Structure 1
Amino acid sequence: MGTQQVLIVDDRPTNQNIFARLTSALDPDIVVKTCGDPREALTLIEGWTPDLIIVDFSMPEMNGAEFTRAVRRRPATHEVPIVVITAYDDRDFRLLALEAGATDFLQSPVDRREFQSRARTLLAFRRQQLSAQVRAAEYETDAALGNALSTLFGDGAALMGQVLDAVPVMVAATDRDGRCLFVNAHQAAISGRAPAALVGSDIAATYPADRAERDRAANARVLEGGSAIPGYEEEIERDGVRLIYLVHKAPLRDGQGEVTGVLTSAIDITGRKRAETHLNHMARHDALTGLPNRILFRDRLQSAVAKAQADGNRVAVYLLDLDRFKFVNDTRGHRAGDLLLEKVAATVGRMLKPGECAARLGGDEFAVLIGGLDTPDEAAQRAEALLAAIDRTYSLEGHDVVLSASLGIALSPDHATAPDELLRTADLAMYAAKAAGGNTFRFFHHEMNWAAQTAVALEADLHAAIDRQEFELFYQPVSAARTGAIVSAEALLRWNHPVKGRLGPGDFLRCAEETGMIIPIGGWVLREACRQLAAWRARGVPIPRVSVNLSALQFQRTDVFALVRQAVSDSGLEPDCLELEIVESLLVANRQAAAETLQRLRDFGVRVAVDDFGTGYSSLQYLRDLPVDRLKIDRSFVSALPYAAKDAAIVHAITSMAHDLGLETTAEGVETEEQQVMLRAIGCDHLQGYHIGRPQSALGLEALLASRPVAHRRAS
């Protein structure tokens, strides 16, 4: 079918580049075109038809649903698969996109394996779709040829007989009484008799009774009306195999134009019908698990709601999301993640009764349809049983993984009756279950709508916050445990929201991570921290070093080394003035890639610290192998000091181990003088917390530095 072509529409160049690379990796022959403006993309496809369109939902000029609707209005692109990329909280947006004609959607931040799996499947779907269209056009041409042959009988009959015997089409001519005037070799072979033996006989008599009745009725219509019957399907069994033919009937006329008989041609379209069946299955089922997808689930939900309304009972919709699935994917690899999804799908399937339905909606999100319920308690009991079945240990390629799930419940007619609204409300309830700690369920209640609207508004404000210069950095001092001198400051993000006032990271960081906004925001934080430190040093403010937090998403989707090198270069700082703080899960999930990037940063001169050490996937192996300089002991081990002997033992063990490995330690969350004294006695190198100094503006930190001793910077 030739080279396949993909159009990517996203107003952010970084996303364009990422999606283009992921698509090109599927096949080097794929042609990828990118557009930052959806209106330009619509102009582009006026003279060019892509095989797949990937479009971001949130774009300033035209959103993904509006763009999809415009694409669907064009005949050339009416059936082109369209994938809309939305953020996790954009549930309403996704429904708008699907109603506009989107084929599928992906959640942002996009998982590389899932992106490529969806793209590969839809490109295969498009290839088969185009193949079926070509074959259908060929069939129509062949049928038209069969009709035209009806005018050629008479002169040159022998030659015409040879021609008709050569074509892979069943051809037969009958008179007004149904007697066979002519039959070609292909028709005779299907009938199991020689052509000569069929001439003069009632050819319909060689068919099964039901088919013979349909054939005689169709011939009668042609003889009475004098018009052709174009393209109807007929099933024919040959050697025990069910075949499907496209049948065309046309009138035979004599020299005076009178109808004297019927010419029937039939083309084998069994392959085409199988392809259509396969395409329909692909379009309505998940390729990995074999479960129904969102489209089929929605259809079944609509039928179930109608039945429940007629029967006077309830339908429950469960939205189920696996707890910490991303961690499994990151630490064990995508192959293990796919295997886990298959095992969970099988577990869910075993819990269903006849007539119930489970679907995979995407990623690690599943939906379940339970009908015939009389009370909410029945829905709760089934949900408990389902969660209990999922909550177990799974063996994945030699590794054991413990998994649980969060489940949201929406009831019809209690909460909604429209399928899309039921899915939306169940989804909101699922997020409430996840917020409650996971491995539990929650029923939808109407206050959740307000929370969802607030989240959507927050995301919209977040997109505009950088352009409106609403972000600000605060700085929390870090002191030397032994001398009390200030050795560095950690840059901490604040958002001066125009309505809500100053917000801390806890109010918006999750939204930034889920929508991918953490990437531009994190880039701004890095550049601004370097700029501020350079400004301080130019004015003689004695701050030795500033530390900046990096997110796992920045490591996954950006060139962190290039980002840091550019920020340091633009500010004119020496690299060892900067320390980067990373979380433990990043080191475990992408050990080789992380090691290479961290080594390049270390070689460049930047220092690296592991934040919140002891709360994640702590591993002595990565401490041994990876280039880090400092462990920041999580505040959970510090808060109960000096009274918690076990916490003191843990802090002492981490400190001793770090020193043996040549690493420094910083204790976080130091709130009291007693904690400071104990941590100094244990041997911690540095202390951070409200007792040392609260996070404050750049001017506030300058004032603090003027009143406190500051350590001289030494080379790392």
Structure 2
Amino acid sequence: MPVKKAHPEAGDPHGDAAAVEAGIGNGTTDDSDLAERESRWNYALVGSGLGVWDHNYRLDRKYYSPTWKTIRGMAPDEETDGDYEAWLQLVHPDDRDFVVDAIDRQNAGDPNYQVFEYRERHKDGHWVWIECRGACVEWDQNGVPTRIIGTDTDITARKEAEETLSRLSRRLDLALEVSRIGVFEADIEHDTVEWDDRLIAIYGLQGASRQIGGDVWAKSLHPDDRERVLGLSDRSVESGSDFQQEYRIIRGDGAERVIRARSAFFIDGNGHRKLIGANWDVTEEVALRNELRRAKDLAEARNRELEAAKESIEHLALHDYLTGLPNRRYLDKMLDERAAECRAKGLALAILHIDLDRFKQINDTLGHRAGDAMLQHAASVLRTSVRAVDFVARIGGDEFVILCIVDPASKKIASLAERVIRELRKPVRYEGHDCRFGASIGIAIDSGPKLDAKQMLLDADIALYRAKGLGRNRFEFFSASARRDIISAKHLADEILIGLERNEFVPFYQLQFDARTLDVAGVETLARWQHPVHGLLTPDRFLDIAEDLDVVSTIDALILERAIADRKVWLKDGLPIPKISVNVSARRLADPDLGKKLRALKIEPGTFSFELLESISLDDCDEAVAANLKKLRKLGIDIQIDDFGTGHASIVSLLRLSPKTLKIDRELIRMLPQSAEQRKLVGSIIDIGRSLNILVIAEGVETAEHIRILEELDCDTLQGYALARPMPAMQIPSFIRAGSWRQGQIAARALQAQLRRALPSRAAK
């Protein structure tokens, strides 16, 4: 170990320093005896791993043995100059101040620093723990140390073992602390017991010394447990067997606690027989265990009641609370079971998906109690309509499913569907009302090893969708074409949404004419879809899907805005169209923000009218619709009734609504030339309109004969292909200026007048 005031290393390595490493002092000994002793001590030092160092300041000589160098990763013959400052930089930074002080104290002869430990960097970079022993052996006449000799020992392995032992001790102590386990050690031969602090705390003996007499433990035992526990303890000591027991104690503070104890015997290093054990407080655990035992006893006593409750819960989990039928969860389970049975037996599985028609109207008008009664009635009908082996489930709302296993060639499923529809169409009496509803049914049938019941349920749903689309109160079997239709409808729905984003919906206009003068009386705005692939599409190609998407109101709004813009262009072109009518959907008419949106458009009063389909149900207008109709009038927007004569509007509703115009449906106009009864009916409608001061428009005017008859019936306005077809806004000006619709009509009217004049003269003859 280098020390302060380092001197260059010099001298014979076999001189005094070598003698010191060999442990040889001054004396008179022959050379052979001296060599033998030197060899003996040198081997002993090397074998013990002690590195010798000798600092002789009187001779200015330092010596470091080969073992000293090996400890530090140096070669035995490697030169070292003993430079103190250079060596000090190899000492661990955390130990450096301590080492400087320790060397000073050691040089001063302080016995407390004759041995000290520190870390020094090994030549390969890691740290080596070194135990340094040294002492001053020579002083000058002033008492200043002139020679210090010592040894260094590599104690790295010992330090690592101590750290490992310390870490394990900390872990054990923490584990005992966390688990609140108290530990004791008893010397059987000397009848002494040492308790740790946790055990003292468990027994409520705070302040007691760790040396506890055996009688203290015995006295702490609960009187009711003492005899039993002491007897077990004595037998354990006598036999040397492990002790494991649970008992009660009375703590020093008087509290009663339950202790779990375990102990085992061992022989220590001195051959003494000892017992080590652990105690922990399990009062809460025992209380919980006793409570659980009581609960278990109670549960066993009520086992039958619980079993019944379990069955009830299972039934509720798998059945609909209202109808008592199996629910969707039960259906999913049965789908797998019935499909497996069909695959195994070569039978066919039939799935009927049933949806009640007009159920919502009953629910909305008569209330949910009436709706519940109808659902219960429907469930009863389905139960009685199927076989005992068939499965009926309500899967939500007004939807039901029937599962039937049949022969693949059976025709009975159609008969079952017909019977269900027939029975469900029968009126049901409820609180003085005859409730009528029906059912649409989608059917899927499949068999074979690849039968997939989950897919079949989807197929039955597709067939149901088709049945409802074809008019309801009917059944349809699933087909691949039906699936294609569904996919096509989905594709069309996506295209509609994209078309709205790209402004592909445009207005077309069909002119309306005064029936007497054939002057332009107005124009109806019609929605068209300028499809990028299929060209111009009329509403019959997209309206149903648009209604499902709830975008009809959006289309109506777009068409109205375009019509307003087109009118402004026509005015600039010198064509003041008297009136522009636009269609309005029932949903848009119920929009609470409709008035605000229309005000933002700044529509000139008296220039636009909204066409309401008669099927909107004018007799049953809700508050929102009625409020919006009132707002339309305030904005100067007239109201027209479209398709009059095919819906269910009453004269009373016309009086209440007071529309400006009504349009006779084209189906009533079509047969005018062939049917006198149709002419009477249309004439009556015109008379009603006149009596109520309502203008009447006839649409579907296809021929000159239509024009003649309607003029005779005193109709106000005509609209149809005989006069003008729908056209884009840009064609309106040129069409009106050409006046082509008048040419044929003028000649026809002249011929009619000539025929009328000739008829009286012929009659006279």
Q: Which amino acid aligns with 2:456?
A: L
Q: Which amino acid aligns with 1:597?
A: N
Contact (CA 8 Å) 1:318, 1:367: kept in 2 or not?
Answer: yes
Change (3 A) 1:425 1:304: same
Secondary structure, in 3 states, of the residue corresponding to 1:358? strand
1:679 aligns with 2:710: yes
Q: Which amino acid aligns with 1:351?
A: S
- Counterpart of 1:477? 511
How far apart, CA to CA, are the structure 2 residues paired with 1:326 and 1:562?
31
- Counterpart of 1:298? 332
- Counterpart of 2:77? none
Alignment of 1:628-667 (within 5 A): 628-667=659-698
Change (3 A) 1:350 1:523: farther
TM-score (norm 1): 0.58
Q: Which amino acid aligns with 1:695?
A: P
Task: State the shift of 1:691 in Å.
Answer: 1.3
How far apart, CA to CA, are the structure 1 residues paired with 2:490 and 2:379?
30
How far apart, CA to CA, are the structure 2 residues paired with 1:628 and 1:334?
35
Change (3 A) 1:402 1:420: same
Task: State the shift of 1:465 in Å.
Answer: 0.5
- Counterpart of 2:425? 391
Change (3 A) 1:361 1:660: farther
Contact (CA 8 Å) 1:408, 1:441: kept in 2 or not?
Answer: yes
Change (3 A) 1:643 1:588: same
How far apart, CA to CA, are the structure 1 residues paired with 2:482 and 2:448?
15
- Counterpart of 2:611? 581
Task: State the shift of 1:478 in Å.
Answer: 1.4
Change (3 A) 1:547 1:360: farther
Q: Which amino acid aligns with 1:649?
A: K
How far apart, CA to CA, are the structure 2 residues paired with 1:463 and 1:298?
34
Report percent identity of matched pairs. Answer: 34
Q: Mean alpha-carbon deviation: is it higher for 381-390 or for 299-308? A: 299-308
Alignment of 1:672-711 (within 5 A): 672-708=703-739
How far apart, CA to CA, are the structure 2 residues paired with 1:463 and 1:692?
35
1:457 to 487, 491, 504: 491
- Counterpart of 2:470? 436
How far apart, CA to CA, are the structure 2 residues paired with 1:325 and 1:415?
39
Q: Mean alpha-carbon deviation: is it higher for 582-591 or for 397-406? A: 397-406
Change (3 A) 1:415 1:367: farther
Task: State the shift of 1:416 in Å.
Answer: 7.5
Contact (CA 8 Å) 1:415, 1:444: kept in 2 or not?
Answer: no
Contact (CA 8 Å) 2:523, 2:581: kept in 1 or not?
Answer: yes
* Greater C-alpha Rg: 2
- Counterpart of 1:519? 553
Task: State the shift of 1:461 in Å.
Answer: 0.7
Q: Which amino acid aligns with 2:608?
A: L
How far apart, CA to CA, are the structure 2 residues paired with 1:312 and 1:410?
17
- Counterpart of 1:169? none
1:504 to 513, 535, 538: 538
Q: Mean alpha-carbon deviation: is it higher for 382-391 or for 420-429? A: 420-429
Secondary structure, in 3 states, of the residue corresponding to 2:670? coil
CA deviations over 1:362-397 (Å, ceiling 9, x no partner): 554433222344434111111111111122334455
Task: State the shift of 1:477 in Å.
Answer: 1.1
Change (3 A) 1:369 1:709: same
1:607 to 597, 618, 638: 638
Alignment of 1:320-359 (within 5 A): 320-323=354-357, 340-359=374-393
Task: State the shift of 1:692 in Å.
Answer: 2.4
Change (3 A) 1:326 1:626: farther
CA deviations over 1:631-670 (Å, ceiling 9, x no partner): 2111111111121122222212222222222222211211
How far apart, CA to CA, are the structure 2 residues paired with 1:276 and 1:577?
72
Secondary structure, in 3 states, of the residue corresponding to 1:385? helix
Change (3 A) 1:370 1:614: farther
Q: Which amino acid aligns with 1:347?
A: V
Change (3 A) 1:554 1:278: farther
Q: Which amino acid aligns with 2:633?
A: R
Q: Which amino acid aligns with 2:452?
A: A
Q: How many residues align?
A: 465
Secondary structure, in 3 states, of the residue corresponding to 1:409? strand
How far apart, CA to CA, are the structure 1 residues paired with 2:511 and 2:449?
51
How far apart, CA to CA, are the structure 1 residues paired with 2:454 and 2:580?
49
Q: Which amino acid aligns with 1:406?
A: S
Task: State the shift of 1:340 in Å.
Answer: 4.3
Contact (CA 8 Å) 2:386, 2:416: kept in 1 or not?
Answer: no
Secondary structure, in 3 states, of the residue corresponding to 1:653? helix
TM-score (norm 2): 0.54
How far apart, CA to CA, are the structure 2 residues paired with 1:585 and 1:397?
28
Secondary structure, in 3 states, of the residue corresponding to 2:548? helix
Task: State the shift of 1:355 in Å.
Answer: 4.2
Contact (CA 8 Å) 1:330, 1:590: kept in 2 or not?
Answer: no
How far apart, CA to CA, are the structure 1 residues paired with 2:393 and 2:477?
19
How far apart, CA to CA, are the structure 2 residues paired with 1:523 and 1:293?
43
How far apart, CA to CA, are the structure 2 residues paired with 1:662 and 1:290?
58
Change (3 A) 1:373 1:396: farther
CA deviations over 1:25-62 (Å, ceiling 9, x no partner): xxxxxxxxxxxxxxxxxxxxxxxxxxxxxxxxxxxxxx
How far apart, CA to CA, are the structure 1 residues paired with 2:319 and 2:394?
8
Contact (CA 8 Å) 2:591, 2:624: kept in 1 or not?
Answer: no
Q: Which amino acid aligns with 1:535?
A: V
Change (3 A) 1:647 1:467: same
Task: State the shift of 1:564 in Å.
Answer: 2.6
Q: Mean alpha-carbon deviation: is it higher for 389-398 or for 627-636? A: 389-398
Q: Which amino acid aligns with 2:454?
A: D
Change (3 A) 1:373 1:279: same
Task: State the shift of 1:606 in Å.
Answer: 0.6
Change (3 A) 1:637 1:293: farther
Secondary structure, in 3 states, of the residue corresponding to 2:647? coil
CA deviations over 1:82-116 (Å, ceiling 9, x no partner): xxxxxxxxxxxxxxxxxxxxxxxxxxxxxxxxxxx
CA deviations over 1:117-145 (Å, ceiling 9, x no partner): xxxxxxxxxxxxxxxxxxxxxxxxxxxxx
Contact (CA 8 Å) 1:584, 1:616: kept in 2 or not?
Answer: yes
Unpaired runs of 5+ residues, structure 2, are 1-198, 205-223, 226-243, 246-257, 264-277, 742-765
Alignment of 1:483-498 (within 5 A): 483-498=517-532
- Counterpart of 1:59? none
1:309 to 337, 343, 350: 343
Contact (CA 8 Å) 1:330, 1:589: kept in 2 or not?
Answer: no
Task: State the shift of 1:304 in Å.
Answer: 1.8
Change (3 A) 1:322 1:664: farther
How far apart, CA to CA, are the structure 2 residues paired with 1:628 and 1:676?
24
Q: Mean alpha-carbon deviation: is it higher for 617-626 or for 397-406? A: 397-406
Q: Which has the higher contact order (CA 8 A, sep 6+)?
A: 1
Secondary structure, in 3 states, of the residue corresponding to 2:501? coil
Q: Mean alpha-carbon deviation: is it higher for 668-677 or for 323-332? A: 323-332
Unpaired runs of 5+ residues, structure 1, are 1-150, 157-180, 183-224, 227-250, 711-716
- Counterpart of 1:405? 439
Q: Which amino acid aligns with 1:701?
A: I
Secondary structure, in 3 states, of the residue corresponding to 1:670? coil
Change (3 A) 1:652 1:336: farther
How far apart, CA to CA, are the structure 2 residues paired with 1:391 and 1:501?
43
Change (3 A) 1:646 1:430: farther
How far apart, CA to CA, are the structure 1 residues paired with 2:449 and 2:706?
52
Contact (CA 8 Å) 2:592, 2:624: kept in 1 or not?
Answer: no
Q: Mean alpha-carbon deviation: is it higher for 536-545 or for 350-359? A: 350-359
Secondary structure, in 3 states, of the residue corresponding to 2:723? coil
Q: Mean alpha-carbon deviation: is it higher for 434-443 or for 408-417? A: 408-417
Contact (CA 8 Å) 1:393, 1:400: kept in 2 or not?
Answer: yes
Task: State the shift of 1:580 in Å.
Answer: 0.6
CA deviations over 1:536-587 (Å, ceiling 9, x no partner): 22432221121111112223455332333333x1xxx313211111122322
How far apart, CA to CA, are the structure 1 residues paired with 2:456 and 2:464?
12
Change (3 A) 1:695 1:280: farther
Change (3 A) 1:701 1:362: farther
